Amino acid sequence: MKINLNMGTKLDKADLSTSRARLGWRAGYLFASFGIYMVDQMTKAWAVRTLRFGGDRTIIRGLLDFVYTENPGIAFGQLQESGSFGRWFFVALAVAAAVAVFFYFIKTPRTDDRVLGACALLLAGIAGNLTDRARFGYVIDFIVAHAGSWHWPTFNVADASISIGALLLAYDLIFERKKIGGLQKTVASGQ
């Protein structure tokens, strides 16, 4: 009985090259995520230096202003009176969210660019706001969008990254899964 040892080696090399390719694509998404994180941190540093002491800026009259704000709460300024406990609770919550998103990112197939991009955006935003909360006890917000008397809550680049990532993920979970479900039903019925 002959045993072909070369066959096992070829499989190992194929598995290794597939793993490297998978890691390479993920590294690209993580690199982009890091870039967004750095843009967030640089714009917040600019806001502290330029806007903190009354240097508000109107970018587009009636639509967009830059106004320095410290947000000790969560999204849209909720839970602002939570004190030191709230600060570290939100830090722990952000760490848990980042770990969950990263795990989902690792488990997502390479061909699912929308989900990989959404996870990269979510990771960048979570890390950006987590950095602020751990360093200062609050998140620096400075972008104010409004139309007439209607105002969107003040936000930052990390918030925008989280919002876009969440929308992409929601789109994928709602609409793309329906298409896959409908295709599976069609295939199962033989049509």
Active-site positions?
Answer: 141, 159
What's the order of all strands across the beta sheet hosting 139-147? 57-60, 64-71, 139-147, 150-151
- Of 120, 162, 123, 121, which is closest to residue 141 (Cα–Cα)? 162
Structure tokens at 81: 């009176």
